């Protein structure tokens, strides 16, 4: 199972978290976010990292912005976390064929899962996050895990939304995602990760059956 820690802003923390066992590090490329990092800063952080996947998180960004950030930040994954349509995903897929394309869906009710099928031809991976009317992610709100027990998309998927060391065991007792995504659940403050909590997360994951 892939473990993605998102919202990194500091090089030392990113290196430490990668060395603890994270398989994906996420960088927020949305300027309105308190976890935003500029492409040049992402590139500087990435230079210090061991072998780990590096995702940029975008929301309703232009193709030019995405392409430039991927190049400057040396990213190998693009996560679209806004209201991007399947056609938007097709455009990004065509422009960046060698980059993993992740579509995040903010789930308010089980009916929201019906939109997944339209994206399948154009994305590599899905990410399910909790819906919040004002925030795109990192809200600390959890999904209704039981309502996702029959979720079997045709692509791998990450579970996100309010995950933390104290509830990840319960979430994984109900669901079998291909990956998990944590941000606020392992933070002191937005963008400032709590390495003790990250270590606790991996302790819990190692103990999971």
Catalytic center residues: 6, 129
- 121 within 8 A of 89, measured Cβ to Cβ: no
Answer whether 47's CB lies under 8 Å from 75's CB. no
- The dihedrals phi and psi of 204, each to the nearest 5 degrees, come to -65, -45
- Give the span between the Cα atoms of 41 and 162, in whole angstroms: 26
- Distance between CA atoms of residues 207 and 46, nearest Å: 30
8-state DSSP, 33: S
Q: Containing H/E element for 108?
A: none
| CA–CA dist 105, 127 (Å, integer) | 6
């Amino acid at each position: 199972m892939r473990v993605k820690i998102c919202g990194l802003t500091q090089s030392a923390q990113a290196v430490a978290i990668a060395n603890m066992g994270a398989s994906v590090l996420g960088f927020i490329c949305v300027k309105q976010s308190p976890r935003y990092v500029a492409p040049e800063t992402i590139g500087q952080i990435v230079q210090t990292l061991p072998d780990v996947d590096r995702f940029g998180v975008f929301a309703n960004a232009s193709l030019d912005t995405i392409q430039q950030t991927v190049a400057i930040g040396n990213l190998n994954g693009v996560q679209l976390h806004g209201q991007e349509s399947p056609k938007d995903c097709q455009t990004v897929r065509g422009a960046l064929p060698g980059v993993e394309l992740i579509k995040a869906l903010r789930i308010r009710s089980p009916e929201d899962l019906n939109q997944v099928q339209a994206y399948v031809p154009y994305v590599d991976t899905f990410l399910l996050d909790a819906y919040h009317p004002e925030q795109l992610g990192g809200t600390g709100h959890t999904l209704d895990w039981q309502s996702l027990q029959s979720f079997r998309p045709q692509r791998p998927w990450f579970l996100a939304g309010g995950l933390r060391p104290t509830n990840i065991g319960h979430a994984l007792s109900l669901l079998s995602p291909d990956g998990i995504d944590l941000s606020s659940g392992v933070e002191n403050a937005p963008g400032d990760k709590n390495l003790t909590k990250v270590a606790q997360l991996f302790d819990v994951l190692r103990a999971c059956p």
